Amino acid sequence: MTSKTFLTCLSISALAAVAAYAGLSQAAETEASEPLIVAELFTSQSCSSCPPAEALFSELAEQENLLTLEWHVDYWDTLIHGGSRWKDPYSSEKFTARQRAYNAELRGTRAVYTPQAIINGRLEDAGNRRAAVGNMLASAPELSLPVSIAKNKVTIGGSDAEGDVLFVRLLEKHVTQVKGGENKGRELAGKNIVLEATVLGQTTSNQAEYTLPKVGKGETCAVIVQSLGGKVGPVLGAAKCG
């Protein structure tokens, strides 16, 4: 079953769209060739609209053929709400730069917002809109570049398209007691939170292999292949660790 095939299974209803997608989990587990979809969420613990998006992406993280990534941006860290502010412990100016680069490509502006969902580096919408996220997943273009991970090695298929091979280190899950800002007093949780992203190398016309850096306790990782030279464009290929 491909991402295009399951489009016909989706209801027009917002909740049914995500529910129908979630119902594919059993099929995804039994079909090794199921194409991977990369679902990125740009979020912040200081944003009151973000917890529903993080909850949605935590649900989606359980799907075998979905790679979810939570990038926590830093532009909320200094904003005061109700006399207090909250610095997201997972935020990074590098993640904000990634989001701005995406928006320049997809929306023609470097202006940003949260929560923002981006699917396979090609489609974007508000990450707390379940119907929109479900529809994007249903219509996601398939990744064209073979990427596989075995033990501590990643193998990238040969490609005429130039791309960076990006190693993404992830915290598998977190629970945070927020003590300031818009979410003051709330307990927030998430999965697959990005801790860092480093370039291992570039694609070539021949198959390439790279050794993966080690990850710590409670961490996992992924590899995504994307446009060369720091320009954030369509995802060419991806794989999960473990």
* pLDDT tens digits, one per residue of 145-194: 999 999 899 999 999 888 999 999 999 999 999 999 999 999 999 999 99
Query: What is the C-alpha to C-alpha distance for residues 42 and 21, in angstroms, rounded to an integer?
Result: 21
What residues contact 216, with CB distance under 8 A and at least 6 apart? none
Looking at residue 136, the DSSP 8-state letter turns out to be: H
Query: What is the C-alpha to C-alpha distance for residues 150 and 155, in angstroms, rounded to an integer?
Result: 8
Determine the pLDDT at residue 230.
57
Q: Which domain holds residue 223?
A: 5-240
Determine the pLDDT at residue 182.
96
With tokens 């979905």, the residue in question is 66
Query: What is the C-alpha to C-alpha distance for residues 85 and 27, in angstroms, rounded to an integer?
Result: 44
First to last CA, the chain: 22
Considering its fold, how many domains does the chain have in total? 1
Determine the pLDDT at residue 232.
85
pLDDT in tens, the chain (242 residues): 444 333 333 333 344 445 445 443 433 333 334 789 999 999 999 999 999 999 999 999 999 999 999 999 999 999 999 999 999 999 999 999 999 999 999 999 999 999 999 999 999 999 999 999 999 999 999 999 999 999 899 999 999 888 999 999 999 999 999 999 999 999 999 999 999 999 999 999 999 999 999 999 999 999 999 986 557 889 999 999 98
Determine the pLDDT at residue 229.
58
Determine the pLDDT at residue 66.
98
Looking at residue 80, the DSSP 8-state letter turns out to be: -
Global model pTM greater than 0.85: yes
Query: What is the C-alpha to C-alpha distance for residues 147 and 156, in angstroms, rounded to an integer?
Result: 5
Query: What is the C-alpha to C-alpha distance for residues 103 and 111, in angstroms, rounded to an integer?
Result: 7
